Amino acid sequence: MKNYISASVLSADLLNLESEARRLGESGVDMLHFDVMDGIFVGNITYGLPVLEQIRRVTDMTLDVHLMITDPLRYVREFAKAGADIISFHSESESDVRRTIEAIRSAGAKPAVAIKPKTPAESVYDILPEVDMLLVMTVEPGFGGQSFIPETVEKVRLIRRRIAEKGLACDVQVDGGINYETAPIVREAGANVLVSGSCLFRAQDMSEAVRKLKGEA
Ligand code: DX5
Ligand code: ZN
């Protein structure tokens, strides 16, 4: 199973996203993680479609969009059109999960479902065959720089086990509080796409940080 690092744009230098994308790509980062928050589903507001469109123009990196919004079904087509390669939305949102997955796929992006720390693993078992990725939040969504919630590790393990039992090709992403200490724990539990914000952008040597997070150094 291939490991990927998705760099959280929230921690990047937002006034220099073109050079940030270049620096990340040169450091071995695989994807850009773009957190969209509407101030209602979570208690914070970030950025949206116009910023994503601009980023799409300056990079070929995989754009991994994480929607923390109340009604994702209403917006997924526009996010796909703006250049999202992967679109994650929350199972706890108000949109119908299956219809949202279909809308993302028919718009040409890869669908992923995200779950908050208190949402049980079992609640997403039935949709695993329909998504390209399952995102297990390892902090409460809303802000970068929070501490990892250890209770989420078991959920990663259960979801990875279920994917293996059913012979599915589904990536398992973790998001929030991923650093050199927590990365080996989530990788061992079965996560293969690690989002990193503060840890990655704080590093003196970003290439080394990527190798460490992937368990290659
Ligand atoms: C939190 C966001 C995360 C966050 C990760 O709601 O979804 O993507 O930016 O940042 P760190 O790695 O700093 O926890
Ligand atoms: Zn995120």
Q: What is the 3-state secondary structure (H, E, C) of 131-167?
A: CCEEEEECCCCCCCCCCCCCCHHHHHHHHHHHHHHCC
Ligand 1 proximal residues by C-beta, below 6 Å: 8, 10-11, 33, 35, 66, 139, 141-146, 175-178, 195-199
Per-residue pLDDT tens over the stretch 60-100 = 999 999 999 999 999 999 999 999 999 999 999 999 999 99
- Identify the domain containing residue 176 by its residue range: 4-214
Taking the centre of ligand 2 as the mean of its atom positions, its distance from the CA of residue 105, in whole angstroms, is 20
Q: What is the CATH number of the domain that holds 205?
A: 3.20.20.70
Catalytic site includes residue 38: no
Write the CB contacts of 14 (distance below 8 Å, at least 6 apart in sequence).
none
Number of structural domains found in the chain? 1
pLDDT at position 124 over 90: yes
Give how far Cα 10 sits from Cα of 6, 164, 201, 217, Å. Answer: 12, 32, 10, 25
Catalytic residue among 71, 96, 175, 205: 175
Whole-number average pLDDT of the chain: 98
Q: Which of 35, 38, 64, 171 is catalytic?
A: 35
